[in-house]
Structure 1
Amino acid sequence: MFRNVKLMVISALMVALVTVFTILIRIPIPGTQGYIHIGDVMIYSSSILLGNPAAFVIGGLGSAIADLLYYPHYALPTFIIKGIMGLITARILYRANGTLSMGRVVVAMVAGGVWMCVGYFIYETIVYGLAYGLAGIGFNILQSLGGAALTLPFIRTLLKLKDNLKK
């Protein structure tokens, strides 16, 4: 029972951190209604710490709350896209038993980031047109790679925290 409560509390804190990291530094993307942020750092971190399905809820809900504050029309697609981003990252990390290598973590973050870029491209192309969808691709790649790069120095610490959560 205590373990479940502990995981719920940590998950709630991670949702809040995704929201805060997303709105803390917002760089508007020219020609679109999107913005570059560092919220992906916390999505990747939650995927490493808690795995799935928590990574889906944390990534989706934390990012959607941030969008509700500034770009509410993006909240639902963001919930889906960022949730799946967290889920993909976690699924690759934990697809097989064994230790997590730095290489697997990098591959997982890249795969989650690729999904995020594809997801927003599809959404924006359907809703706003191909030119709009294409305009955001480079910025989404930049955000995804930036989030992964900022997460890398903390991976060893996150893995130690993950082991402590099992206790």
Structure 2
Amino acid sequence: MNKKTLTTQQIVLYALGMAIVFVSTMFIKIPNGIDGYFNLGDGFILLFSSIVSPLGGFLIGGLGSALADVAGGYAYYFIPTLLIKGLEGCMVAYLFQKYGNKIKWIAYFLGCMIMVIGYFFAKWYLKGSMIIALSGIAENILQSGVGYVIAIVALPLIQRQFYRQRKLKKA
């Protein structure tokens, strides 16, 4: 069997991640006055990206968030969101695969910075105004900070559950 083939468990985990990111982006949101909204999706992007491959991180972050944009009436953000949130998830997953848990603080921080900087440039391009783009930075920092906390708090719980499952399979 080809090592690059996705297992059923990986596909299910990716789909679950995309669904949770979609729901936490679409239904747990606070609209702002400048054509956007605060949501909890980043926390789940960071969390799932800690336990999947870079491809999984890209799909979970990118598609989960971009589909929520489409469903929520922000379809013109589909491509920027797909790329920004996908890169956020991919970077975190790559760093976790390469270095493990010991750099989770740095991995999450870099993922958050990709989101904040990415949306600054996306908003600048889409709105044609650097001032409007600058006005979204504080909200994106707050959103990524909340996501950071969600991931830091939830990761040990998720890892403990995976450890228990592996232990049960071996028994």
Please report the TM-score for the alignment, with normalisation by the length of structure 2.
0.87
1:51 and 1:106 map into 2 onto residues whose CA distance is 18
Structure 1 equivalent of residue 29 of structure 2: 26
Structure 1 equivalent of residue 60 of structure 2: 58
Does residue 6 of structure 1 match 2:5? no
Q: Is the 8 A contact 1:29 1:136 kept in 2?
A: no
- What letter corresponds to residue 100 of structure 1 in structure 2? N
C-alpha deviation, 1:159, in angstroms: 2.2
What is the aligned-residue identity percentage?
32
Q: Please point out which of 93, 97, 112 is paired with 1:94.
A: 97
For 1:87-166, list aligned pairs within 5 A.
87-96=90-99, 99-101=100-102, 104-128=103-127, 129-163=129-163, 164=165
Q: Is the 8 A contact 1:48 1:162 kept in 2?
A: no
1:115 and 1:19 map into 2 onto residues whose CA distance is 19
Deviation track 1:86-122 (CA, whole Å, cap 9, x = no partner) reads 01111222223xx513xx1121111000010110111
Does residue 77 of structure 1 match 2:76? no
Alignment length (residue pairs): 161
For 1:40-51, list aligned pairs within 5 A.
40-51=42-53
Query: RMSD in angstroms over aligned alpha carbons?
Result: 1.9
2:162 and 2:90 map into 1 onto residues whose CA distance is 17
Structure 1: 5+ residue runs without aligned partners?
A: none
Decide whether aligned partners of structure 1 residues 162 and 79 sit closer, same or farther in structure 2, where only a CA change above 3 A counts.
farther
Q: Equivalent residue of 1:50, what SS?
A: coil
Please report the TM-score for the alignment, with normalisation by the length of structure 1.
0.88
Structure 2: 5+ residue runs without aligned partners?
A: none
- What letter corresponds to residue 73 of structure 1 in structure 2? Y
1:89 and 1:29 map into 2 onto residues whose CA distance is 27
